[in-house]
């Protein structure tokens, strides 16, 4: 009994849980009231079903696993790549500027893997791609901070190419292609989080740049434990579901605008 109580105790301290409770209280459950407020009840029930469904770990995990495995990595261990393209989305620029220390989010495995490839001689150079939205934070921009991190980890400065203009994945591909063409790079590898790789592949395909891929930062499990406690609504699971839906909508918009090209 204590085991199950310990698993659900945090639910009582979560604003997400209380939000669901208050939403449930809005629904006119009595039939007499329902006759007058059918539309409100329908919307309330729909909101509850949506929140509960996307807040459950099995649903979020399954969605994320499918997204992370939408592409198959094509990285070849027997190849020395001319360049590895490190896609941004790792640095919190404002916190880095305020604290004076690099502040990274959950995508930090992108830079860790890039360093490993450079250190082990699997790639000769790195194209570190990512701009800052705020010109005042240019000194703490994505590419600048990540490039400095690679240097701090022992990678020679002349092996690090800073691309600090790209504001999105489409521009990552455009500017990386320009650099690769100018420097004669033929074998290029892109590194990004597994959930983001499908969109990255489509963006590079749209600019007709042939690349190999190496996904990192896997977060979902194919055979996850789906015990009782994992079906309970969690704010973290809701956030994961929202991230998957955001990524899928981003891919759809990119395709509509011609920024992404479906790859079979």
DSSP β-ladder status, 160-163 and 188-193: unpaired
* HSE toward the beta carbon, residue 15, CA cutoff 13 A: 0
Ordered by start, the domain boundaries in the chain are: 81-219+248-257
**Tens of pLDDT, residues 34-68:** 555 666 667 677 778 888 888 889 999 999 999 99
Q: What is the CA radius of gyration of the chain?
A: 22
What is the predicted pLDDT for the residue at 16?
Answer: 65
Q: What's the mean per-residue pLDDT of the chain?
A: 87
106-134 average pLDDT score? 95
Q: Is the confidence at residue 73, as pLDDT, over 50?
A: yes
Rounded Cα gap, residues 86 and 147, in angstroms: 10
74-101 average pLDDT score? 94
Residue range 81-219+248-257, CATH number: 3.40.50.620
Our CA dihedral for 56, 169, 133, 126, rounded to 10 degrees, sits at: 110
What is the predicted pLDDT for the residue at 81?
Answer: 98
Give the highest mean pLDDT range of 108-122, 232-246, 248-262. Answer: 108-122
175-195 average pLDDT score? 97
The residue with tokens 């395709």 is 255
95-123 average pLDDT score? 95
Q: Is the confidence at residue 103, as pLDDT, over 70?
A: yes
Choice among 20-24, 57-61, 63-67, 217-221 with the minimum mean pLDDT: 20-24
pTM given for the model: 0.84
Rounded Cα gap, residues 146 and 66, in angstroms: 29
What is the percentage of the chain residues whose pLDDT exceeds 90? 57
102-131 average pLDDT score? 96
Rounded Cα gap, residues 249 and 252, in angstroms: 5
Rounded Cα gap, residues 43 and 40, in angstroms: 5
Confidence of residue 15 (pLDDT cuts 50, 70, 90): low
DSSP β-ladder status, 212-216 and 160-163: unpaired
């Amino acid at each position: 009994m204590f085991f199950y109580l310990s698993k659900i105790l945090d639910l009582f301290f979560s604003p997400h849980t209380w939000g669901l409770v208050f939403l449930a209280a809005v629904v006119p459950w009595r039939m007499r009231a329902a006759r007058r407020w059918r539309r409100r009840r329908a919307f309330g029930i729909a909101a509850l079903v949506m929140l509960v469904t996307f807040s459950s770990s099995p649903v979020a995990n399954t969605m994320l696993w499918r997204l992370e495995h939408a592409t198959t990595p094509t990285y070849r261990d027997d190849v020395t790549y001319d360049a590895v393209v490190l896609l941004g989305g790792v640095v919190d620029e404002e916190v880095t500027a305020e604290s004076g220390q690099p502040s990274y989010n959950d995508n930090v495995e992108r830079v860790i893997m890039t360093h490993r490839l450079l250190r082990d001689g699997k790639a000769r150079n790195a194209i570190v791609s990512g701009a800052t939205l705020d010109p005042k934070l240019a000194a703490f921009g994505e590419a600048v901070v990540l490039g400095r991190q690679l240097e701090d980890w022992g990678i020679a400065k002349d092996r690090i190419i800073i691309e600090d203009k790209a504001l999105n994945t489409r521009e990552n591909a455009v500017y990386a292609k320009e650099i690769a063409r100018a420097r004669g790079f033929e074998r290029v590898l892109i590194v990004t989080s597994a959930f983001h790789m499908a969109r990255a592949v489509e963006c590079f395909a749209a600019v007709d740049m042939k690349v190999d891929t190496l996904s990192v930062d896997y977060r979902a499990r194919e055979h996850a434990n789906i015990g009782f406690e994992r079906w309970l609504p969690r704010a973290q699971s809701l956030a994961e579901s929202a991230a998957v839906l955001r990524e899928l909508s981003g891919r759809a918009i990119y395709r509509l605008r011609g920024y992404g090209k479906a790859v079979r």
